[in-house]
Amino acid sequence: MAHPRMYDDDDFGLAELRALALAFPEAIEKEAFGRPTFRAGEKGKVFSYFGQGQSGHPRPFSVLVLLEEAEREALLTEERCYLPSYLAPAGWLGIDLTITTPDWQEIAELLDSSYRRVASKSLITRLDTEGGPADQR
């Protein structure tokens, strides 16, 4: 049984996230558990989720990224950042886009870090050669 769709295409921040995430080499969008995910290649791993919160505290307008522990811990000192339910133990960080005005350059840089954690060596080489959204803003 498929999960019900839990977002609208005009949700706050989704268009901006989509534009950034899909600018990475061979990035694709795939709906999973009713929410948009962005993956490094057709069979690649997820490097970003849109709209997942914490138990009892939904955060529908948020971006999730997979970061190194030190970077994640530094960002957790900010009110807008949180540990998402189910995904936090694997290193994921949530950024609530409604707490402050989103800094899309920073989001692009965090997406870059997350993409590099899951992408194949050949995709990372392409990113280094061609540049990505963090380099173009």
Dump pLDDT digits (tens) for 109-130: 999 999 999 999 999 999 999 9
Residue 78 lies in a domain: yes
Residue 4 lies in a domain: no
Residue 95 lies in a domain: yes
The secondary structure of the chain as a DSSP string is -PPPP---TTSTTHHHHHHHHTTSTTEEEEEETTEEEEEESTT--EEEEES--BTTB--SSEEEEE--HHHHHHHTTSTTEE--TTTGGGTEEEEETTTS---HHHHHHHHHHHHHHHS-HHHHHHHHHH--HHHH-
pTM of the model: 0.95
Residue 31 lies in a domain: yes
Dump pLDDT digits (tens) for 60-110: 899 999 999 999 999 999 999 999 999 999 999 999 999 999 999 999 999
Residue 5 lies in a domain: no
Q: Which CATH number do you get for residue 107?
A: 3.90.1150.30
